Amino acid sequence: MKQLQYFSPQQLEMVNQAVEMAEELVSNHYKLSTSQLRRLNYDVKTLSDLNEAEIVSGHFAQIVKYRLKKKDTLRETEAEDFYKICLQDHSILETLAQHPELAFLAFLLYILCHEMIHIVRFRRFLQQFNASEEEKLVEEHRVHAKTREILTPVSMVGLESVLAFYRDWCVQPSQPGGA
């Protein structure tokens, strides 16, 4: 297996920045209160924190759903869902190397907004986590459109190139970066 490339410490700092920005943009868009935001119950992890099953190739990120059991209880009804956004450093870095017009922070902001929109929609039951492949593809288009809507008014270095990079997504849904 080829050696996977990880984000540098400087890049990890930008990931944190992008997480904060994405959270603010998405929660403003959906008018989420602080407690609603907390109840999204998700976390963002990068490659160095992922286990083997959470690592994929050909996607920039994937969402893995876990059932959490509350402490000191074995009752399944006490469990709640937890979503883990698993960033795939290697895929992101490979694409950034091929597309020098894409800025790291802007690219990460797009990816994170996109994944957070998925989670909001799961939480609101607008989308089933275990949907058919066909439904997932339709949802993917919707989420890309929503990401574009949220990010278009944002002024940020490199964001225009990122939106241009994703512009053709609807025409070629098989392009990596779907998840």
Question: Would you say 86 or 179 has its CB closer to Zn ion?
Answer: 179
**Helix or strand (DSSP H, E) at 179:** none
* Total interface residues for Zn ion by CB under 5 A: 3
Q: How far from the centroid of its chain's Cα atoms is residue 2's Cα?
A: 24
* Contact window for Zn ion (CB under 5 A) among 27-35, 66-74, 119-127, 135-143: 135-143
Nearer to Zn ion, 27 or 62 (CB): 62
Straight-line distance from the first to the last Cα atom of the chain, in angstroms, rounded to the nearest whole number: 23
Closer to Zn ion at the Cβ: 81 or 140? 140
Please say whether the beta carbons of 54 and 86 come within 8 A.
Answer: yes
Q: Which residue's entry shows tokens 């490979």? A: 94
CB of 165 to Zn ion, least distance (A): 15
Q: Of the candidates 104, 86, 100, which has an alpha carbon nearest to the alpha carbon of residue 10?
A: 104
Nearer CB in complex with Zn ion: 116/179: 179
CB of 69 to Zn ion, least distance (A): 28
Residue span 52-71 as binding mask against Zn ion, x where in contact by CB under 5 A, dash where not = --------------------
Question: Minimum Å distance from CB 166 to Zn ion?
Answer: 11
List binders of Zn ion among 142-161 (CB under 5 A): 143
Full strand arrangement of the beta sheet holding 42-45: 42-45, 80-87, 61-68
| Pick 79 or 84: Cβ nearer Zn ion | 84
- Find the part of the chain contacting Zn ion (CB under 5 A) among 33-41, 80-88, 136-144, 156-164: 136-144
Residues 120 and 128: beta-carbon distance below 8 Å = no
Cα angle at 51 between 35 and 60, to 5 degrees? 70
d(CA 84, CA 44): 6
Residues lying near Zn ion in the complex (CB under 5 A) are found at 140, 143, 179
